[in-house]
Structure 1
Amino acid sequence: MIIFAVAGMGGIGKTALALEAAHGAGEEGCRSLEVRSEFEDWYGTAQTLDNLALAHMDIDHSAEARACYLQAADDYTQANAPTEAADAQSAAESLT
């Protein structure tokens, strides 16, 4: 398993980096990409997880995508973004 941690202030390219890593490592056996935020940027972390779920879907890893959507829903809730949390929860439920 390959694990990456991506942290930093908003707007510096964390999501793009995470997606590039997921796409590049996905076919070589990467089972998941863990994203953590040291700065409690819940909304930014949730967006990264949301995008990571899409990357997992691109390589037919629906279980990993579902886990990312569920974590994104939790993080959107922490960020007080109920609409985005509901969307992520709904996306996760569609993969069960």
Structure 2
Amino acid sequence: MSTERKSVSEEEIGESILRLVAERGEGKTVCPSEVARHLGGPHPDAWSPLMQPVRRMAVRLTKEGRIAILRKGKPVADPDDFRGIYRLGMPAPDTGEA
């Protein structure tokens, strides 16, 4: 049996995060492992190595304001410095309207 690993690009990771978060909708979140499984398949040997690339892309997308990284239901203060279990969701609506 082949244990070939499918190569996944940063672009594919970013697109998957954005698509899954959008499909889940406002007020709902996605687990980073869902993104990794979506890209790598159900076997841990395939999706587990994608967890760090998913986190790196989540940080990038958060800095761009396209998603939010949430811990205990609240957006993280610093996307470069958070620990533990986190979820991905839609960014908070911009309330700076005139």
TM-score range, shorter chain: 0.3 to 0.5
Structure with the higher helix share, 1 or 2: 1
What is the TM-score of this pair, normalised by structure 2?
A: 0.37
What is the TM-score of this pair, normalised by structure 1?
A: 0.37
Structure with the higher strand share, 1 or 2: 2
Higher relative contact order (CA 8 A, sep 6+): 2
